[in-house]
Amino acid sequence: MTVAGNRLKHESKNPIQVALIDRFKRRAADMARRAAPRTILDLGCGEGFMIDALLRAGIAAEFTGIDLSPTAIADARERLGARATLEQEDARKLVRDGRSFDMVMMLEVLEHIPDPGQMIPILKQLARRHVLLSVPREPFFCALNFMRGKNLRRLGNDPEHVNHWSRSGFIRFLEPHFEILAAPAVFPWTMVLARPKP
């Protein structure tokens, strides 16, 4: 997602969107509490909104955020200061460097990646204990966009979304590689807390 698009989503003044994003953040914090990680990697951290939300929710972990966008990382550093380690980095370099974390978050990222399957081995190598993943829940996400007049020519589909999963479809995508521990209700997204399989 573009920096501007992600910021608009998180800083929206629309009361319905604010309520949905706030619930998304609360569910992510609930899942982080359940996993109880000491270290968390936010893979595709953008401008640091989710790290900020978890810190505000009292999640006591050491946070690292990486993103390919230098603009997003600059914004994240301004937002988070010294509360997190933030790097403009590719996840594959973290794997090559032998780094790992108790929990890896990848929230609202996989729908943007042309070959999302390439991320599975990377996630499994980076996550010692848990992954927390989310994607838009289709067809509802597109339908809600269309109903509010967004991306009408694309029937509500965001032009940057190249993958589309139903809730059950996303779980099927993950199940060969991860043990699903929880999939909390967080409409119109699918969120999954899982443990890497050996």
Tell me the per-residue pLDDT of 148-182, one tens digit each, with 9 for 90 and over: 666 666 655 666 777 788 999 999 999 999 999 99
Report the CATH number that the domain containing residue 165 is assigned in CATH. Answer: 3.40.50.150
The packing angle between helices 49-56 and 15-35, to 10°, is 70
Q: What is the span of the domain harbouring residue 160?
A: 3-196
Tell me the per-residue pLDDT of 72-103, one tens digit each, with 9 for 90 and over: 999 999 999 999 999 999 999 999 999 999 99
Domain count of the fold of the chain: 1
| pTM, rounded to two decimals | 0.90
Give the separation between CA 167 and CA 165, rounded to whole angstroms. 6
